[in-house]
Amino acid sequence: MSEKIAFTIDGVTCKGEKGQFLVDAARDNGIYIPTLCNIPGVNPKSCCRICTVYVNGLPMTACSLQVFDGMEIINDTPALIEQRKIILEALFVEGNHYCPFCEKSGNCMLQALAYRFGMLAPRFPYTFPVREVDASHPKIIKDQNRCILCKRCIKAIKDEKGRSIFAYHRRGNKLRVHIDPKLALALTDELAQKAMDVCPVGSILVREKGYRVPIGQRTYDKMPIGSDIEVKK
Amino acid sequence: MSKPIVATASLAGCFGCHMSILDIDERILPLIDLVEFNKSPIDDIKEFTKTCDIGIIEGGCCNSENVHVLKEFRKHCKILISLGECAIMGGLPALRNGIPIGECLKEAYLEGPTVKNNVHKILPNDSELPMLLDRVYPCHEIVKIDYFLPGCPPRADLIWDALVALITGKEMKLPYEVIKFD
């Protein structure tokens, strides 16, 4: 039986269990801390920094931080919202994110976060990098233009022997997520769909599955991301 | 008080954003009561005849003429609005940004599968034609833009509410559904 603890988020007293990750504990209390690279149930890697909160005055990532008793967390301040917006804007200019014709538009977490934090146009100049689309696999397409290198697919998509289908390749600004061609041949339909769903942007696509949900019925068409958590409050 | 003056232009865009302006339906009648149009494809006035209060730009900059028009707008308009994804990020025309300009022209005029009649292998080079830029630029990378209205096209309600808010000085209260990037 885990130990019950109490902490505060923006002055609101919350209850949680010792060892719980802060994003999960906040979610149980009806408070939304934005995440992008984090997947529930998979070890956090805190690489996108969108979930940064102030804990007793220090900036920390909420996805990898375990709650402890008496923690004072600041999550919702103009400065933090601005920091999150900066991360989103940087991600938008770093790749080629064409929302108007993206298959994932409306279901895209990056786009949904931009809606939530009120991004209208990025403050940074667009880089328009030259990146390839890898359409050589039978079940999935990997569009490197949209990849934000969040590692979600690497961490979550494994075959029955536990081998990763996706992997990092090269370093620095040449870093890409590549697909193992042999493992991709044996990819099942379910796993291919899971890979598409686990991708927060439209970088992994299942062949012949685009635009199935009409505009107006997609995940983030009606309500901002995180509002399903906040209704529990 | 005289009516605020609005000017609009479509640069490297598909005119969809202007269609979306017209999509305000019967509100076009109160709009005519609210504002006066100057240089715009809607009334076909080609040159600025006076200083405008609001300039609305659709589309990004893909050639020298677009840059010229955009700079004219900045000169003649007190407030400049980027309307739609092309004006904000380049949009579909920006798909050519990763391709060298020579290759684009070659594909379009010499080697493309639908090129049949260009027997003299001519690339358009008349001095009357605007020069293509090295890539498509979002408007705010050329001149200062004051407001951004995203969407492809921006929802008619978004355009209407933003214009009314700007003219009346009231705060915009927009529902979540109207600000979308697609």
B9: nearest Cα among B73, B79, B53:
B73
In tens, the pLDDT along A102-138 reads 999 999 999 999 999 999 999 999 999 999 999 999 9
Give A216 to chain B, closest Cα distance, Å.
9
* A65 CA: distance to closest CA in chain B (Å): 31
Output the pLDDT for position B19.
Answer: 95
* Contacts of A67 by beta carbon, 8 Å cutoff, 6+ apart: A5, A7, A16, A17, A18, A19, A20, A21, A22, A25
Residues of A in contact with B103 (CB under 8 A): none
- In the three-class reduction of DSSP (H, G, I as helix; E, B as strand; rest coil), residue A124 is classed as coil
Phi first, then psi, for residue A177 (nearest 5°) are: -95, 120
Block mean pLDDT (10 aa), chain A, length 233: 88 93 94 94 90 94 94 95 96 95 94 94 95 94 95 93 94 93 93 95 92 91 93 75
A120 in contact with B at a CB cutoff of 8 Å?
yes
Interface touch A100/B181, C-beta < 8 Å: yes
Query: Number of C-alpha atoms within 13 angstroms, CB side, residue B6?
Result: 21
pTM, two decimal places = 0.93
Residue A103 phi/psi, 5-degree rounding, is: -65, -25
Contact list in B for residue A100 (CB cut-off 8 A) is 85, 91-92, 152, 181-182
Give the model's pLDDT for residue B1: 60
CA dist B9 → A172, B64, B74, B141 (Å): 41, 15, 12, 17
A114 with B181: Cβ contact below 8 A? yes
Could you tell me the mean pLDDT of each successive run of 10 residues in chain B, 182 residues long? 90 95 91 91 92 96 96 97 96 94 93 90 92 95 96 94 90 86 91
A126, A130, A221: residue with CB nearest B177:
A221
Tokens of A121: 């146009």
C-alpha distance from A168 to closest chain B C-alpha (Å):
23
A222 contacts chain B (CB < 8 A): yes
Q: Which of B136, B137, B181 to mutate to test the interface with A (most CBs of A within 10 A)?
A: B181
Closest-CA distance, A51 to chain B, in angstroms, reads: 22
Q: Is A43 exposed, middle or buried (0-12, 13-18, 19+ CB in 10 A)?
A: exposed
The structure tokens 């290198």 sit at A149
By Cβ distance, the residue of B98, B148, B182 closest to A121 is B148
The answer, for A224 touching chain B at a CB cutoff of 8 Å, is: yes
Residues from chain B that touch A125, judged by Cβ atoms under 8 A, are: 141
Minimal-distance CA residue of chain A relative to B137: A126
In this complex, do A102 and B182 lie within 8 Å of one another by their Cβ atoms? yes
How many Å apart are CA B26 and CA B21, to the nearest integer?
Answer: 11
